[in-house]
Structure 1
Amino acid sequence: MSAPMHTARRTASTGKRLPWWSVVLPVVAFVVLLTLMTGPGQAHAVGATSEAPGIAYLLERVLDALSL
C-alpha cells in the first residue's frame, strides 16, 4: 500500500500585497542618510567645554533639507 503523493500547487498570484511601511521605511532611511552625507563640507571637532548640538540639531537639519 503506497501513500498518496502531495504536490505543492503554485498559483500565479496569491493576492498578497506589501504593507505600506515596507516601501516607505527604506525610502525614508535613504533620504535621511543622503541628507546627512550632503551636509556641510567642513567638519569640526566639538570641544569638551562647548555644547554638543545633539538631536535637536539633527532634526533641524533634516527639516531644513525637506523644506527645499
Structure 2
Amino acid sequence: MQEATVKVQGMSCRSCVPRIEGAINALGAEGRVNFEQGTVDVRFDESKVQISDIQEVIRKKGYNVEA
C-alpha cells in the first residue's frame, strides 16, 4: 500500500469531509480528511489506483488540489 498526503483548497465547512472521503473510497482507496490542515491522507494500492486518479476525483468534486 502506498501512502500520500494531498493538499486540498476550497474546503469551506465540515460537510466537505464526507464528500471527499466518499469519492476517494469509491475508487478503492482510503482517504482521511484533515479539515483544519487542508489535507487528505490517502492509502491506495498502486496496481489499482494512481495518485493522479485520487487528485482527479477530488477536483471533480469542486476542490483545488496542489500538485
Shorter-chain TM-score: what band?
A: under 0.3
TM score, norm. by length of structure 2: 0.26
Structure with more of its chain in strand, by fraction? 2
Bigger relative CO (Cα 8 Å, ≥ 6 apart):
2
Structure with more of its chain in helix, by fraction? 1
TM score, norm. by length of structure 1: 0.26
